[in-house]
A and B are shown apart, each in its own frame.
Chain A
Amino acid sequence: MRILAIDTTASPVSVALLKDGFLEGEFFLNIKTTHSQTLMPLVENILRLTGISAEDVDLFAVNAGPGSFTGVRIGVSSVKGMTFASDKPCAAVSTLEAMAYSMPYRNGIVCAVMDARCSQVYNALFRLDEGNVERITEDRALSIDELKNELEYYEEDQIYLTGDGADICFKSFGDSLPSLVLTPMNIRYQHAYGTAMAAMRMADENKLCTSDELMPIYLRIPQAERELQEAERELQAKKRNNDGNANC
């Protein structure tokens, strides 16, 4: 089975081509490019340079979120377009799961974190065991402090901190969790290779979807939502006070 996988969920963009788990080609850029301008040239070039045609691809895999609003939409709609034309199946991969699949060569816990702004991170935990990736938590948005508290539970294991939120987390609680290690730069960010590996498993588990069914995965930020509602209430109260003063 040949997989074309792409990722545009955050600042990097990457494209990978795999045949039965063998990595035939991969492009990765991380210089704040505009993905809408770089993604398709990367797809076109990986096919051209490997001499493989789009018809030879059996499965199109994409990191469908969490991630940046614009980035996720660029990736998902590109794959939607390609599979709409070819009628091939799609895999909507969790960006965090793709990160875990970039590194199942040791045993321990993968803590995949993406910076969601407002002191929040998108996160999921996975257990790596003899080459297997097992999900421990759902993808969720939580505060850095909440994540730290949860990780204390896994102190006995080596914890691999990875993703574009790894740095801020490591700075925040790296000192208090000795079993925490930062992943090296070559696997720190989400890569389309991990997307393809996660998609292979999804294919085994019959979790693929059609072009029509492919949708972005967005996570809500509960704390941010509460703060905004409070701000809204304060603002309304202020407006009422101002109106009151004007009437006096």
Chain B
Amino acid sequence: MGKKTNLQTFYSQSEQQTEQIAEKLAHTLQGTEMIAMFGGLGAGKTAFTRGLARGLGIDDGVSSPTFALVHEYEGRYMLYHFDMYRIGSYDDLYSTGFFDYQGQGVMIIEWSENIEPFLPEERINITIKRISDNEREIIIEGAEKL
């Protein structure tokens, strides 16, 4: 594994740029990382996931798994896309199979805020902050240098 840098900050002016940043992140992955995303409604979490999926060679349309809770994609590595928006208890989390997926592929999680105590320490944090309608600050923590 390459050297991990603690904090990397990017500014995105558009959804396309957000996807490109995520695509770059995808190229640094080893295949079993957990990526925890933080950022409210409309921050661009699904756009980020779309870019990450493309970086892993996945061309299927990526959509938010709000209803299914988890979507699975097969690319260079397996990608498990979780949405924790409706997860409010340990039992909820357990019954998504969240713990069973760990180590089986790359996991990317929307609404990580809801399950923060159960995230393993070894993970990548993505914080997306809204600056204006199109502008976002994206902070990547615990990943290799992009």
Q: Report the bound CA distance from A197 to B97 in whole Å.
A: 29
Chain B residues with Cβ under 8 A from A228's Cβ? 88-90, 93, 115, 117-118
Max count, chain A CB within 10 A of own CB: residue among B89, B96, B120: B89
Cross-chain contact A221 with B90 (CB below 8 angstroms): yes
Residues of B within 8 A of A231 (CB): 113-117
Interface string of B76-116 (1 = CB under 8 A from A): 00000000000011110111110110111000000001111
Interface of A is mostly: helix
* Cβ–Cβ contact B117 & A227, under 8 A: yes
> Is the CB–CB distance between A235 and B113 below 8 Å?
yes
Chain A residues bordering chain B, tally (CB within 8 A)? 19
Q: Does A163 contact B (CB under 8 A)?
A: no
Q: A225 CA to B118 CA in the complex, in Å?
A: 10
Check if A171 is an interface residue, CB within 8 A of chain B.
Answer: no
Query: Is A182 part of the contact surface with B, judged by Cβ < 8 Å?
Result: no
What residues of A have a CB within 8 angstroms of the CB of B114 in the complex? 231-232, 235
Find out whether the CB atom of A220 lies under 8 angstroms from the CB atom of B116: no
Residues of A within 8 A of B99 (CB): 68-69, 116-117
Q: A118-B118, A228-B115 are in contact. Are A220 and B100 (CB under 8 A)?
A: no
The reply to whether B91 and A220 contact each other, CB–CB distance below 8 Å, is yes
Known contacts A117-B118, A224-B117, A228-B115; is-contact A69 B100 (Cβ 8 Å): yes
Judge whether A220 and B90 touch: CB under 8 Å: yes
Q: How far is the CA of A224 from the CA of B118 in the complex (A)?
A: 8
Complex Cα–Cα for A220 and B96 (A):
15
- What B residues does A230 contact at CB under 8 A? 117
Contacts of B120 in A (CB 8 A): 117
Please, which residue of chain A has its CB at the minimum distance from the CB of B94? A69
Q: For the complex, is A241 an interface residue (Cβ under 8 Å from B)?
A: no
A71 close to chain B: CB less than 8 A: yes
Which has the most chain A C-beta neighbours within 10 Å: B94, B113, B115, B120?
Answer: B94
Give the Cβ gap from A30 to chain B, nearest Cβ, in Å.
14
The CA-CA distance from A185 to B41 in the complex, in Å, is 49
Taking A69-B99, A231-B113, A231-B114 as given, write out 16 further A-B residue pairs in contact, using a Cβ cutoff of 8 Å, ordered by the A residue number: A32-B104, A68-B97, A68-B99, A68-B100, A70-B100, A118-B117, A218-B94, A220-B90, A224-B117, A225-B90, A228-B88, A230-B117, A231-B116, A231-B117, A232-B114, A235-B114
Question: What are 18 of the A-B contact pairs (CB < 8 Å)?
Answer: A32-B104, A68-B97, A69-B94, A69-B97, A69-B100, A117-B99, A118-B117, A118-B118, A218-B91, A220-B91, A221-B90, A224-B118, A225-B90, A227-B117, A231-B113, A231-B116, A231-B117, A232-B114
Top 8 closest A-B pairs, CB basis? A227-B117, A224-B90, A70-B100, A68-B100, A70-B97, A225-B90, A117-B99, A231-B117
